[in-house]
């Protein structure tokens, strides 16, 4: 599922809900979970609440589609995305460290100082 925001005839924000994909499996989640991912806002429209409204809209889309859980992940230093996720109603549930070996094997470990922050909302 995807979401596009247009202003003055141009797309200023795009974002997606991923379902049944490798990232969810790597995070240890099943098909009842949806992943908020790949959000992008053009520079001139940043700081105007596009991301927060996008997250809230994608949560609602996921609920209407029947998912039990919605999750998102960010880089630990991506404070703007983390604030938007919190503002839209998600909560931080920890960090995950992922190690990719030979582009084939992924090792997942929870770690207090991991590389990605995990966020979720459960219905």
Q: pTM of the entire structure?
A: 0.76
- Range 47-54 average pLDDT: 89
E-assigned strand segments in the chain? 2-7, 10-19, 33-41, 69-75, 91-101, 105-110, 116-122
Residue 33's beta-bridge partner residues? 69
- Rounded CA-CA distance 12/21 in Å is 26
Residue of higher predicted confidence among 26 and 58:
58
Q: How confident is the model at residue 123 (pLDDT cuts 50, 70, 90)?
A: very low
Task: Report whether pLDDT(55) > 50.
Answer: yes
Residue 102, pLDDT > 70, answer no
> Domains in the chain and their CATH numbers?
2-122 (3.40.630.30)
Q: Where is mean pLDDT largest: 21-25, 68-72, 95-99, 115-119?
A: 68-72
């Amino acid at each position: 599922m995807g979401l596009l925001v247009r202003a003055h005839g141009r797309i200023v924000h795009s974002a997606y809900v991923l379902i049944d994909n490798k990232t969810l499996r790597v995070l240890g989640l099943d098909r009842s979970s949806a992943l908020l991912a790949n959000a992008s806002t053009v520079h001139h429209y940043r700081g105007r609440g596009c991301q927060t409204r996008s997250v809230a809209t994608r949560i609602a889309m996921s609920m209407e589609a029947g998912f039990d859980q919605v999750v998102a992940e960010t880089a630990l230093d991506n404070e703007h995305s983390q604030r938007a996720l919190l503002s839209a109603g998600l909560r931080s549930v920890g960090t995950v460290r992922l190690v990719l070996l030979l582009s084939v094997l992924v090792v997942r470990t929870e770690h207090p100082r991991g590389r990605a922050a995990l966020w979720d909302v459960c219905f």
